[in-house]
Amino acid sequence: MPFEKSASNFELAPLGIMHLRYIEMFQAILQAGTLTDAASLLNISQPAATKLLKQAERRLGFPLFVRVKGQWHLTPESRMLRGQMERIFDELRDLQRLVSNIARADKRLLRAISTPTLANAVIPKSIARLRQQLGQTPVELSTQHSREMLKSIVLREADVGFTLQDLSHPDVHCEPLCQGPLTLIAPKGTWSRTEAMQPVRIDSLADSPLIGITRADHLGQQLEAYLEQLNPPARITTWVQTYQIAKDLVCSGEGIALVDPFTAVSAGTELQIRVLQPVMPITLHAVYRIDGPLNSVQKSFVQCVAAAASHSISYLTQPNTAPSAVPKLQSVK
């Protein structure tokens, strides 16, 4: 037993003293399940782990764990502490990651991160442009959703990120690079050539077989607000998390979908694309920390992304014929 219910345990030292090492021990036992495995996680011996746990319980003034039939269980006192200790442990881990990233930041010229949508639709062409300018510059690319991306930028795990959301954080600058309209995509042959050249009204989507985007971010909420205008509502039987998946489903004949302009044009001739009216602007942002300027390579890549994105959707941003009599969409077979 790591803790014995004897009053002598608490007579020689002041009670209620918490140290970071105790929190590490607590988390290691929760993660590993046994004291032996917890000792391995902490890179100490099993006797040292036992001693540390006893010391923690003695200084705190109450037991953290009890053993019942060989299993470790939290005590009522440690259950009250668990949430706060886990938050502190997570913050300590983030601090360690930040220190590590600061130490090795100068060893990489470019560490870029983007959302999955942009990783497919914009980033490859941007890398090609960068290669034309700077040759074989070392690049590290990764993908994350916007919320995780923001944390990676704050912790310096990436130098610059690219997203379709306007992220807000006191340590981060969100620079708009390019803007295009929300688009409707459909399988090839859905519209005549004349129809395909015109914008499509939002009310044309009523009772149409639409692929839904889950309301996981601000853009998803905006799309939902658009769809709430429909009467009768669109027929949505499939919900997806990313616009790339929506595009792939449209290519397979699942229905039609509202997607960002970058995803829409990345399908090439596989799909037909129409701008939605009233226009809902979609902005591509570059995200980076405000406490240090981007180096020349990072600045060049941001410019390459802006240029590649603008070029890819240029024909969507040209003035079109006003949507005066666009036929109502029929079900996609």
Neighbours of 196 (CB within 10 A): 15
**Model pLDDT, residue 196:** 84
Mean pLDDT of 295-308: 92
pLDDT at 332: 33
**Domain match, 22 and 170 both:** no
Give domain status of residue 328, yes or no: no
**Which one is predicted more confidently, 319 or 21?**
21
Query: What is the model's pLDDT at position 331?
Result: 34
Asked whether residue 301 is assigned to any structural domain, the reply reads yes
Determine which of 244-248, 265-269, 283-287 has the lowest per-residue pLDDT on average. Answer: 265-269
Tell me whether residue 319 is in a domain.
no
Residues 21 and 83 in one domain: yes
Number of structural domains found in the chain: 3
The predicted model scores a pTM of 0.64
Q: Going along 1-51, which residue ranges are E strands? A: none
Q: Does 9 have pLDDT greater than 80?
A: no
Q: Is the pLDDT of residue 320 over 50?
A: no
> Is residue 223 domain-shared with residue 190, that is, in the same domain?
yes
264 found inside a domain: yes
Asked whether residue 238 falls in the same domain as residue 99, the answer is no
Average of pLDDT values for 251-261? 90
| Residue 164 and residue 291 share a domain | yes
Place of tokens 């399988």: 187
pLDDT at 129 over 80: yes
Per-residue confidence (pLDDT) for residue 35, from 0 to 100: 85
125, HSE (Cβ side, Cα atoms, 13 Å) = 17
CATH number at 122 reads 3.40.190.10
Which pLDDT tens digit goes with each residue over 51-110?
988 888 888 888 888 888 777 888 888 888 888 888 887 887 777 766 765 655 554 568
Separation CA 171–CA 281 (nearest Å): 26
**Contact assessment for residue 56 and residue 64, using Cβ atoms and an 8 Å cutoff:** yes
Lowest mean pLDDT among 73-77, 140-144, 187-191, 217-221: 217-221
- Looking at the domain assignment, is residue 5 inside a domain? no
More confident residue, 321 or 137: 137
Nearest-angstrom CA–CA distance, 280 and 260: 10
Same domain, yes or no: 262 and 189: yes
Q: Where are the beta strands (DSSP E) in 42-131?
A: 65-68, 71-74, 110-114
Structural domain for 68, as ranges? 17-103
Element (H, E) at 259: strand 256-259
